Chains A and B, each alone.
Chain A
Amino acid sequence: MTAGMPFYVSPEQLMKDRADFARKGIARGRAVIVVAFDQGIAFVAENPSRALHKVSEIYDRIAFAAVGKYNEFENLRVAGVRYADLRGYSYDRSDVTARGLANAYAQTLGTVFTQESKPYEVEIVVAEVGSRPEQDQIYRLTYDGSVADEQGFVAMGGGAEQIEAGLREQWQPGMSLADVLHLGVGLLAKDLAGGPDRELGAAQLEVAVLDRNRPRRLFRRLGGTVLERLLSSEDPMTQVPAEDDTP
């Protein structure tokens, strides 16, 4: 075969190959769950690292969650913070919306998917909490730039389908934070191969909330004793305490 001889690859095949490639990369990582509760939106990820986050603050009411290749979603996260801060600075803080950001991400992912040598191996969620639960918004963006406006919950990453099936069955509007955390952690701990559930304690989890009762910046990480008590059945706590723990 002569090197450099062009082969014809149909556009369908090309897109399918890229999609398969991206999907494979994304399914390799541990899952992240985004789930609404009565006072806001919770983010639960299996992530033993305290430094490399899968869930982060973007703006006052907006947070970001991602699975896939760290350097790629980290780039998108930083771009999102820049987009939000620049927009809020040149217009007003209230002009920064999850919808606007989700659109910018969708265009970016879509362009990269079709035009660059390889697609981003990421799936992300942009979530915004409103002053009432009906106003909460959760947007899921996939590697090709598709956007879905989700109701109540999203699971991404390895085993996402089984986790979403579990959420569909057991989640309902108006659940407390402790209830959605129990549900989420229980589903993350399920063994896909059918073995016994794994033990997932506070140290293996990255948990954060957008809490609509906080002033201005609603994003907050939950860890240490607060998370242990929220997850515990002996010494239960159903809502986040008003005062902060140290991050």
Chain B
Amino acid sequence: MSLRPESGRLPAAYLTPGSSSFTEFVGAHAPELLPGRRVLPPGVLEAPHGTTIVAVAFEGGVLMAGDRRATMGNVIANRDMEKVFDTDEFSLVGIAGTAGLAVELVRLFQVELEHYEKIEGTLMSLEGKANRLATMIRGNLPMAMQGLAVVPMFCGFDTDTQVGRIFSYDVTGGCYEEHSHHCVGSGSVFARGSLKKLFREGMNQDAAVRIAVEALYDAADDDSATGGPDVGRRIWPTVGVVDVDGSRFLDDELVAAAVDAIIDHRRGNPGGAR
């Protein structure tokens, strides 16, 4: 890699007009830095896995929440991992699957969006961002076939139509727009069941936080790889919100309050019947 060429001058590739994509630039100039370009030895590798992410659209925005557990087989590899990230001013990404690759992919995606914004002098459209992420997942297909799959979920605020939107992906890079809510990861089956019953059209942000955290609670109840709220250590789910004011993460106190309310409600009512 020629980050510091011998003469110290910027290499010709840097000065060549053309792509405003960081991934394309790195692919041409320093391909070994891209996760999808690595050649892996045959065989299946065991590496930490991140688990459940849920997204819920509400009036004027969308939120994404993730549990904090990473597992490796039957072992808890990490209990306070972050799996929801803000990728630019108006978008969030949550990732389930191989944790190391997922974090690397998110970092690359964050730089990709900022790089485009700086070079072009304007934000990429929401569909543009969703498609860029699909391209990156597609590039990871060889790794997915060796057991290192990464499955993201993308949420953003559409500044043209003023609504929050959710995009899901499959391992081959297929990108699909979801409506109202969506879940990925090992506990997603249980979280989806929970959201189906709890979601209402036109909910406000507080109500959406409550049902997203409750869906993660339900996922953790039935899926050993999803971490429930850790009251003893005070580790709460990560909750990111994106609306007209941009993307941000909720303070721990707010999430803790939602968790406390759920735990109260579930006392003597473990299924959360209403």
Known: A86-B25, A89-B26, A90-B3. A81 touches B10 (CB 8 A): no
Contact string against A for B residues 100-118, beta-carbon threshold 8 Å, 1 for contact and 0 otherwise: 0000000110010011001
Q: Of the candidates A58, A76, A89, A107, which one forms a contact with B118 in the assembled complex, judged by CB atoms under 8 Å apart?
A: A58
> A82 and B33 in contact (CB under 8 A), knowing A53-B121, A107-B7, A111-B9?
no
Interface set, chain A 48-83, CB cutoff 8 A to B: 51, 53, 56-58, 75-76, 78-79, 81-83
Task: Tell which of A51, A53, A81, A104 touches B8, judged by Cβ atoms closer than 8 Å.
Answer: A104
Chain A neighbourhood of B121, CB < 8 A = 51, 53, 56
The reply on A88 being an interface residue by CB < 8 A is: yes
| Chain A CB within 8 A of B119 CB | yes
**Which residues on B sit within 8 Å (CB–CB) of A104?**
8-10
Size bracket of the B interface: 20 to 34
A176 within 8 A of B: no
Chain A at the B interface: SS class? helix
> Is B29 a contact of A86 with CB atoms below 8 Å?
yes
**Residues of B1-24 contacting chain A, CB below 8 A:** 1, 3, 7-10, 14-15, 17, 22
Interface of chain A residues 2 through 20 with chain B (CB within 8 A): none
B72 contacts chain A at the CB level, 8 A cutoff = no
The answer to whether A90 and B10 touch across the interface, beta carbons within 8 angstroms, is no
Query: How many angstroms from the CA of A51 to the CA of B120 in the assembled complex?
Result: 10
State in angstroms the CA–CA spacing of A87 and B111 once bound together: 11
* 10 additional contacts (CB under 8 A) given A79-B10, A89-B22, A104-B10: A78-B17, A82-B22, A83-B10, A85-B114, A86-B25, A86-B26, A86-B33, A88-B111, A105-B10, A107-B9
Of the A-B pairs whose beta carbons lie under 8 Å apart in the complex, a sample of 8, sorted by A's number, is A51-B121, A78-B119, A81-B115, A81-B119, A82-B25, A83-B14, A89-B33, A108-B9
